[in-house]
Amino acid sequence: MAIGFEPLLVFLLFSLGAILSSAAVISLHNQCSDTIWPGTLSGNGAAILGDGGFELASGASVQFTAPSGWSGRFWARTGCTFDQSGSGKCITGDCGGVLKCRGGGAPPASLVEFTIASDSKSKDFYDVSLVDGYNVPLGVRAVSGSGNCQYAGCTKDLNANCPAELQIVDSGSVVACKSACLAFNTPEYCCTGNHSTPQTCPPTRYSSIFKNACPTAYSYAYDDATSTCTCSGSDYLITFCGQ
């Protein structure tokens, strides 16, 4: 039996929607004892989630829908003060003295990074990165996806064991831990110049501190094998100061 034009059109539109639909709901939950101010950065001209940055009280959660093909990152800013116009500053993760970020956060800051699939047949990629250093514990968990869908995170308090030469101190307390690249800016720590390949830029004693504490997080630029996660058709839960 021949299929009429209208049913065929509906079928094709439905099939196309199934192929193209790969949006992901990304939830952020603050389990820290204090308020944080998450920052968001979108790549490739993609939608800016959360208007770039916002306040998230202890115990509070928020959700955003990342469209198919979206890429970007999330991080926590701490110790922030903003006026009614949204101007101010943060002790860690500051993004130019504004509540609504239009660029990345100042390192050191723990990051969650995403590339959402452009269609339902492809995979999402995500990771937790300490390449720019560390400020608060965080983790990302895939929800109801298919594939490997690994957990990625760094839930240890690295500030408590941060070497003195990497410490960021405020009011007598260590509030963040620099990466060796940020602290020393040399090719062997930044994987630049003569150290710009995986073969010439192995782990260092500093990156090993991060990796030993947080095995599923990126500890330096070429830490791909154990740190890049993939999943298909999933939503995601980012938890600050918890799993």
Domain assignment present for residue 201? The answer is no
Domain assignment present for residue 69? The answer is yes
pLDDT of residue 52: 96
Domain assignment present for residue 36? The answer is yes
pTM of structure:
0.88
Average pLDDT over residues 7-35: 67
**Per-residue confidence band for 21, with pLDDT thresholds at 50, 70 and 90:** low
Total of domains in the chain:
1
User: What is the C-alpha to C-alpha distance for residues 111 and 64, in angstroms, rounded to an integer?
Assistant: 17
Q: What's the chain's average pLDDT?
A: 90
Q: Are strands 24-30 and 235-240 parallel, antiparallel or unpaired?
A: parallel
Domain assignment present for residue 128? The answer is yes
pLDDT surpasses 80 at 17: no
pLDDT of residue 160: 95
User: What is the C-alpha to C-alpha distance for residues 241 and 159, in angstroms, rounded to an integer?
Assistant: 13
pLDDT single digits (tens) 116-150: 999 888 999 999 999 999 999 999 999 989 999 99
Domain assignment present for residue 200? The answer is no
pLDDT single digits (tens) 55-83: 999 999 999 999 999 999 999 999 999 99
User: What is the C-alpha to C-alpha distance for residues 154 and 133, in angstroms, rounded to an integer?
Assistant: 11
Which of 40-49, 52-61, 231-240 has the lowest average pLDDT?
40-49
User: What is the C-alpha to C-alpha distance for residues 72 and 43, in angstroms, rounded to an integer?
Assistant: 5
pLDDT single digits (tens) 179-220: 999 999 999 999 999 999 999 999 999 999 999 999 999 999
Domain assignment present for residue 183? The answer is no
pLDDT of residue 46: 79
**Per-residue confidence band for 6, with pLDDT thresholds at 50, 70 and 90:** low
Type of residue found at 183: A
CATH for 42: 2.60.110.10
User: What is the C-alpha to C-alpha distance for residues 51 and 43, in angstroms, rounded to an integer?
Assistant: 14
Structure tokens belonging to residue 118: 């452009």
3-state secondary structure string across the chain? CCCCHHHHHHHHHHHHHHHHCCCEEEEEEECCCCCEEEEEEECCCCCCHHHHECCECCCCEEEEEECCCCEEEEEEEECCEECCCCEEECCECCCCCECCCCCCCCCCCCEEEEECCCCCCCCEEEEEECCCCECCCEEEEEECCECCCCCEEECCCHHHHCCHHHEEEECCEEEEECCHHHHHCCHHHHCCHHHCCCCCCCCCHHHHHHHHHCCCCECCCCCCCCCCEEEECCEEEEEECCC
Domain assignment present for residue 51? The answer is yes
**Structural domain boundaries enclosing 32:** 23-156+215-240
pLDDT of residue 5: 46
Residue 108, preceding peptide bond in cis (omega within 30° of 0): yes
pLDDT surpasses 50 at 18: no
Q: With pLDDT > 70 as the criterion, what percentage of the chain qualifies?
A: 91
Domain assignment present for residue 79? The answer is yes
Of 106, 83, 102, which is closest to residue 94 (Cα–Cα)?
106
